[in-house]
Amino acid sequence: MVKITRLFPLLYAAITLGSEYPILFVARQQYAPDHHNTETFFQRGEINTGKYRPGSALRVLDPQTKQVRTILDAGATGLIRDPEVSFDGKRILFSMRKNMEDDAHIYEINADGTVLRQLTFAKGVSDIDPLYLPDDSIVFVSTREPKYCMCNRHIMGNIFRMDADGANIHQIGKSTLHEGHPSLMPDGRILYDRWEYVDRNFGDAQALWVVNPDGTQHAIFWGSNLSSPGGVIDGRAVPGTPYTLAIFAACHDRPWGALALLDRRKGVDTRDSIIRTWPAEAVNLFKKGGFDSNKKLSPKYEDPYPVDAEHFLVSRQTGKGEEMGIYLLDLDGNETLLHTEDPGCFDPMPLAPRQRPPVIPTRRDYRNGHGKFYVQDVYTGTHMDGIKRGEVKWLRVVESPEKRSWTHPVWGGQGIQGPAMNWHNFESKRILGTVPVESDGSAYFEVPSDRFVFFQLLDANRMMVQSMRSGTIIQSGETQGCVGCHENRTAGLVPSNTTLAMRRPASQLDGWHGPARDFDFMVDVQPVLTKHCLPCHDYGKAGAKQFVLAPDRDFVFNAAYIELWAKKVITCVGGGPAEIQPPKSWGAHASRLISASRKYALTAEEMERLVTWVDLNAPFYPSYLCAFPDNLTGRCPLDNAQIKRLAELTGVDLTKHAAHNTLKHPWISFDRPERSPILANVSNGRDEALAIIRDGQRKLKQETPCPADKARDEKYEQRAAIERQNRLAILEGRKVYDDRVTAER
C-alpha cells in the first residue's frame, strides 16, 4: 500500500503538524565553505569576512495551502539566521546582520511581523543562536569573549545569557574554542554542541554537552570520544521520549551532515545508542573513516526540529546541488518535501505554542570568586585498569588558556598552529595547583571561576597516572562533582558527601613552584638540562652525537626541545586520538627521558620539573602572543627574504622543516650564531649567512608582542571589563545594557 505521505504530502504534513500551525523558516543561501562547521560568523574585521553571503528573509509556510508569507526581509545585503519561537508561539527570536559592515545582533519580532525589537547592540562582536529560557530570559552564542581557534585563525563563540529586554548580558560558557546551537531539554537544562580539546586531535573533539541556564554543571551529554563523526552538533531533545536528534557533521564542512536519532541511555559514545540515521548508511561511518568521513554523504541534513516523538522537520538537500528544502521525516522512513525556494530553506519549525520546561534555580553568586569541585573516588570509572587503591596521592588542576591572537605563517603540528606553540599539540598550560587525594580516593578543592581546567591524577612521585583530555568550568559559588575519573555517566550513581575529603574544608590551590603562571619550557625545564646535561650534550661535545640539549633558540623552538621530541625520548600523546587512553600509557611513566634522568644527581624539584613538563604533554611556548607574525611559523626572527637568502647560501630551505614530521634536528643557534648547524660545509657565503643569523639574534633580544596581538589583547581586556561590569549589576540588582541610544531601549 502506498502511504498517504506519497500521495498527499502537504495534506499529511498539515494533519501531522496541525493545520492551524504554519512552519517558520529562513530563506537564504547555504553558508560559504570554510575551515570548520563552527565557522559561520564571517565577522566584520576577521579573517573570512569576505565569505559573507547576504540575502535572506524570515518566512512562514502554510502546509495546507502551500502559501508563503514573509515576516521580515533582510534585503539584498542582510542576513537573518537562527530563529526560535517563544513558548506561547507569538514571538520570534533571531539573529540579523544588515550588511557586511554591520555586526550580527539579536532581534525579536511578533509572529505577525509587527514590532521589531533589537536586543543586543555591541560593536565588533557576533551574536547568533538565540534561545528562550523557561523564565523568558534569553541565551545566545557570541564572540564577546574574543578568542581564536587553536588550530587555525578563526574567531570562536561562547554561550551568553541576558534578560528578556537585553539587560545584564553575561557569559555562562567558558570553553576555549566554541559553543553553539543551544536548545532546551525537557528538564530546563541547555543542550549545546561544544568544540574543545586538550591534548587531542582538533578534528574529533566536538560533542553534545549540557549546562544549567546559570552556567553551572557543564557536563558531557553524548559523543565526546569519537574519531568519526567529526562533529555531533545541533542537538534537540525529542518531546515525550528519551531520544535526541543531532547532526553528524564533518570537521571541515558546513554545519550539515547526517541526521541521527540517539538514545543516550545506551551509552555516551557507542553505536548501540544510535537508533537510526538519515541517510541510513551514515551509521556505518561511526568511528570509521576519520573526522571528515561524513563529508561525502548525500543528501545532507541540517537544522533538525522534532515535531513529536515520530515526526521531524529538517532542512535537507533536494538533489539540486546545495539547494536545501523543508522536509518532514518520520520513523517509517518517509521523507516528504514540503517546500523549497531559491536560494534555500533553513531552520524549519512549527510557529506554534509549546510546553515550557521548569525553571532551574540559580546556583552561582556572580562574585567572580571560587567554586568547589569534589571527586568521590578517583578509582571509580573507566580507564583506570591496573591502578591499585592508594596509588593516587595527588590531583593536579591545570588551566588551558584561550588563544587571543593568530598569525598567517604556521607550524605543522597535529594540524596547523599559527603561531607555533608546541611540537604536536596546540595548547598552552597553566598549573593552578595540586591537592591531596584521600585514602578512599576522594578529593575536594577550590578552583577560581571562569577558568577552563582539566585534572591529572598523580602518584607519590607526582608522576601522572591518568589525565583528562577535555575541560570543565566552575562558576563562582558553585559546587560541582563527579563520582570518579572517566565515570560511567549513564550508570545512575549517586555522589556521596560522606567521603574523607568532604569531611574537611576544601583544599586550596598552591600554584607550582610559585604562583600559577603559564608553563614555559625555557624557564621551567631548560635550566635543569643546562645544569646537568650541557657539559656533555652541547654543540661540539661528545654527547652531541646522541642529543644536543643546549638552550639555543632555533627558528621555531630551541635545540633541546627539538631533540627530545624528534628523537622520541619522551612519550607524549601530542594532539592525540579521540579515545580515552590507558593509564600510564603516556607521560613521565612511559618516557625514557625520565627513567634516564634518575641516574643523575637531580634534586627533587629538578626531577619534578622534568616529570611535570612531560606529563603536561611537553609544551614549549607559554603564550600565543608573538613578535614576528609575518615570519616563518610566526616565531622566527628572520623575515622571508632572509630565509630565502639563507637557503641560497646554505642549501637548507627552512620552510620545508616547519613541521614536526620534517624537522629532525635544530638548524640555527640564535644564541651562538657561529654554532648553527646550518653553516656546516658552507664556505662561499658563510660570512653573509652568519650575518643573517646574527641579525636574527639582535631581533630576538628586542622581542615584544606585535601591534596586531596587542590590539587583540586590548579588545579582549575591554570585553572582560564589560563582563565584570554586567555581573556586578546582577549582584547589585541593577540593569545595564549594551551601548545604544536610550530611545532604543
Per residue in 129-188, pLDDT (tens digit) is 999 999 999 999 999 999 999 999 999 999 999 999 999 999 999 999 999 999 999 999
Task: Give the 3-state DSSP-derived string for 285-335, with helices as H, strands as E and coil as C.
Answer: HCCCCCCCHHHHCCCCEEEEEECCCCEEEEEEECCCCCCEEEEEEECCCCE
Residues 470-497, mean pLDDT to the nearest whole number: 78
Longest dimension (CA), the chain: 88
pLDDT at 381: 77
pLDDT at 363: 95
Domain edges within the chain? 4-350, 370-519+568-615
Determine the Cα–Cα distance for residues 357 and 189; give it in Å rounded to an integer.
9
Residue 125: other Cβ atoms inside 10 A: 24
Of 307-316, 433-442, 488-497, the range with the lowest mean pLDDT is 488-497
| Average pLDDT along the chain | 94
Q: pLDDT digit string (tens) for 63-109? A: 999 999 999 999 999 999 999 999 999 999 999 999 999 999 999 99
Task: Give the 3-state DSSP-derived string for 620-631, with helices as H, strands as E and coil as C.
Answer: CCCCCCCCCCCC
- What is the three-class DSSP state of 639? coil
pLDDT of 745 over the 50 cut: no
pLDDT of 691 over the 90 cut: yes
The DSSP H or E segment spanning 647 is helix 640-650
Beta bridge partners of 95: 81, 106
Q: Shortest CA distance to 388 belongs to which of 583, 652, 123, 239?
A: 583
pLDDT at 5: 41
In a 13 Å sphere around the CA of 589, the CA atoms on its Cβ side amount to 17
Asked if 336 contacts 328 with a C-beta cutoff of 8 angstroms, the reply is yes
Q: pLDDT digit string (tens) for 261-308? A: 999 999 998 999 999 999 999 999 999 999 999 999 999 999 999 999
pTM for the model stands at 0.95
- Region label for 486, one of left (φ > 0), alpha (ψ between -120 and 50) or beta (otherwise): left
Determine the Cα–Cα distance for residues 19 and 24; give it in Å rounded to an integer.
14
pLDDT at 12: 53
pLDDT at 182: 98
pLDDT at 13: 54
Determine the Cα–Cα distance for residues 454 and 468; give it in Å rounded to an integer.
6
Determine the Cα–Cα distance for residues 125 and 141; give it in Å rounded to an integer.
10
CA-to-CA dists, residue 697 to 612, 631, 654, angstroms: 30, 15, 17
pLDDT of 484 over the 80 cut: no
User: What torsion, rounded to 10 degrees, do the Cα atoms 242, 247, 248, 251 define?
Assistant: -140
pLDDT of 7 over the 50 cut: no
pLDDT of 259 over the 70 cut: yes
Q: Report residue 490's pLDDT band, with 50, 70 and 90 as the boundaries.
A: low
pLDDT at 683: 85
Q: pLDDT digit string (tens) for 387-398? A: 999 999 999 999
- Which cell numbers in the block locate residue 55? 540575502
pLDDT of 337 over the 50 cut: yes
Residues 573-601, mean pLDDT to the nearest whole number: 95
pLDDT at 14: 52
pLDDT at 11: 45
Q: pLDDT digit string (tens) for 101-136? A: 999 999 999 999 999 999 999 999 999 999 999 999
Tell me the backbone φ, ψ of residue 285, rounded to 5 degrees.
Answer: -90, 0
CA-to-CA dists, residue 382 to 273, 378, 494, angstroms: 18, 10, 16
Using N-to-C axis directions, what is the helix angle for 640-650 and 686-701, rounded to 10°? Answer: 150
Whole-number percent of the chain with pLDDT over 90: 91
- Give the DSSP per-residue string, 540-608: TSGGGGT------B-SSSBHHHHHHHHTT-S---SSB-SSPPPTTSSSGGG-HHHHHHTTS---HHHHH
pLDDT at 740: 66
pLDDT at 15: 52
Q: Shortest CA distance to 195 belongs to which of 125, 130, 144, 252?
A: 252
Q: Report residue 681's pLDDT band, with 50, 70 and 90 as the boundaries.
A: confident
DSSP state of 362: P
CA-to-CA dists, residue 368 to 148, 212, 445, 715, angstroms: 23, 18, 17, 20
Determine the Cα–Cα distance for residues 386 and 618; give it in Å rounded to an integer.
25
Determine the Cα–Cα distance for residues 266 and 258; give it in Å rounded to an integer.
20
Q: How many residues comprise the chain? A: 745
The DSSP H or E segment spanning 69 is strand 68-73
Q: Report residue 16's pLDDT band, with 50, 70 and 90 as the boundaries.
A: low
Fold of 4-350: Neuraminidase (2.120.10)
Asked if 178 contacts 38 with a C-beta cutoff of 8 angstroms, the reply is yes
Asked if 89 contacts 352 with a C-beta cutoff of 8 angstroms, the reply is yes
